[in-house]
Amino acid sequence: MTNVILPVVLPLLAAFLLQPLARLSGVVARLLGPLVLLVGLVLLLRLWFAPDTEPFTVALGGFAPPLGIVFYVDQLALIFAIAVPLFTLLFWNWSADAYEDSQEKARQDALMLLLAASATGLALSGDLFNIYVFYELMAVASFGLVVLRGTGPAQIATVRYLLLSAFGSVLALVGIAILYTQTGTLNLAQLGQLAPTSLHGPAGLAAFGFMLVGFGVKAELFPVNTWVPEVYATAPARIAGLLAGLVSKLAVLVVVRLLVVVYQDTAASQLLLVLGTLTILFGEFAAWRSKDFPRMIGFSSIGQLGIVFIGFSIPGPWGMLAGLAVALHHLLIKSALFGLANRWSGSLESLAGGARSAPIAAGLFVLFALSLIGVPPLPGFWTKILVLTGLAQEGSGLHLMALGAILLITAIEANYLFRFATKLFSTSDRPPASHGLMDIGAAVLIGIALVAVTIQIDPVGDRLRAVARQAADREAYISTVFPAEPTIAAREDRR
């Protein structure tokens, strides 16, 4: 099963080969990126559809954990690992004439491949060392992609994003340092073994707080998400879609792994619950006030991630299922909305009459808006109802407060999304430009996927429930990384 490493290694290799290759042959360089991503996607999909869904580990370089570094492959990791090449391909810059210079195109493709490689690695890592390195690599690739358009505001937004993100990394590193002084290991499974004894006190919780805020920069968590509207308003819409849809989910995945494997106590999940509640309130109120389309969906993305955090803060398989469902729903919807934002980048006023010039896009927007608000029978309804019932089952004051906050922001969401929809369908003498084929293509594909999930909600729900049960099982995580009798033969068999 070592070929699970290939989806990480091949894009990395291709990213570094692209520039010299572009000097030799423009066509090969153009095809290399999509080809490599496609290979990775096929390899991961074969694992996902394999009959044996037991989690397994891959010891990198043949060094057994805890000394060696492991990839931990379970269904949860696979979902996000599959999403990486899939969405990178959806948002790939296919247009040949956008950059007349093939070097420029190769540079952008290389950054996209770096992002894909590090994101896949982040999804699969079972070791904080590796997680830190991949997280940083992902951050650097995203800085490059954001600044690529090269306008003045984009550069200012990048500087602010870069400073905040780098400081977030410092905080995460402080958290890792505290963990290491308390336990002497960075392997997640071993941390899980040692957590009940050595991470119970305030030092362990402080480490979680630092890491939560540090990794929360990419996950758009409340106090550290001021970069979100600025970057999404200035970056190319494709890149904003990738950051909002994909990159934020991978940062969330890191937090979830920490929470499930290492921090089983209630204090950590309460911290997540409070920050998540603040995040949705901040995001949705700001979205209600915003005046242009990219910033409106950017702020709404913050709000949705708040619900994701609230979902994951509910303990046990239920919370895992709720958080996972909201996260996947948001991954689909927000990617598609940013696909639409490519041509609808202007103010909300200037988009009046958009339904006349772009009827398909306007129809898709209404579909996505209905699902975001949670109108049955669209998947958004099921995701929200999962979170709400989970919160009601917990029933403590904080949980009920979060429940109230979600209901409140649903009303606000409905208000600003429908306000924009009515504007789209109003008449105007200067309707906005219609969409290009590639922009609308991604959104149409996602719209079809959404409708398909609506029809097939039962099988999808069953599969997600199985994934959540597996991912929430802490004992299984530890015993998979450290089998009770780690004989050489058994380990060879696993591979």
The answer to whether 137 touches 8, Cβ cutoff 8 Å, is: no
| Nearest approach, Cβ of residue 230 and another protein (Å) | 6
How far, in Å, are 108, 154, 351, 361 from residue 151 at the CA level?
16, 5, 23, 27
How far, in Å, are 67, 122, 198, 264 from residue 193 at the CA level?
15, 22, 10, 11
| Nearest approach, Cβ of residue 28 and another protein (Å) | 28
Q: Which residues make beta-bridge pairs with 73?
A: 56
Cα–Cα distance, 85 to 5 (Å, whole number): 14
| Nearest approach, Cβ of residue 210 and another protein (Å) | 10
| Nearest approach, Cβ of residue 64 and another protein (Å) | 16
| Nearest approach, Cβ of residue 187 and another protein (Å) | 10
Give the nearer residue to another protein in terms of CB position, either 298 or 390: 298
| Nearest approach, Cβ of residue 129 and another protein (Å) | 6
| Nearest approach, Cβ of residue 34 and another protein (Å) | 26
Give the nearer residue to another protein in terms of CB position, either 277 or 313: 277
> Would you state the structure tokens that stand for residue 160, as one six-digit string?
């602010």
Give the nearer residue to another protein in terms of CB position, either 257 or 295: 295
| Nearest approach, Cβ of residue 152 and another protein (Å) | 5
Give the nearer residue to another protein in terms of CB position, either 172 or 472: 172
- Quick count: other Cβ atoms within 10 Å of Cβ 442? 22
Give the nearer residue to another protein in terms of CB position, either 350 or 389: 350
Give the nearer residue to another protein in terms of CB position, either 99 or 285: 285
| Nearest approach, Cβ of residue 181 and another protein (Å) | 5
The answer to whether 311 touches 462, Cβ cutoff 8 Å, is: no
CA 209 to chain centre: 20
| Nearest approach, Cβ of residue 75 and another protein (Å) | 30
Cα–Cα distance, 349 to 356 (Å, whole number): 15
CA 124 to chain centre: 14
Residues that bind another protein (CB under 8 A): 129, 132-133, 136, 139-140, 143-144, 147, 151-153, 155-159, 162-163, 166-167, 169-170, 173-174, 176-177, 180-181, 184, 186, 226, 229-230, 233-234, 285-286, 289-292, 295, 299, 345-347, 349-350
Give the nearer residue to another protein in terms of CB position, either 152 or 459: 152
Cα–Cα distance, 439 to 236 (Å, whole number): 12
Give the nearer residue to another protein in terms of CB position, either 174 or 466: 174
Give the nearer residue to another protein in terms of CB position, either 254 or 467: 254
Give the nearer residue to another protein in terms of CB position, either 75 or 169: 169
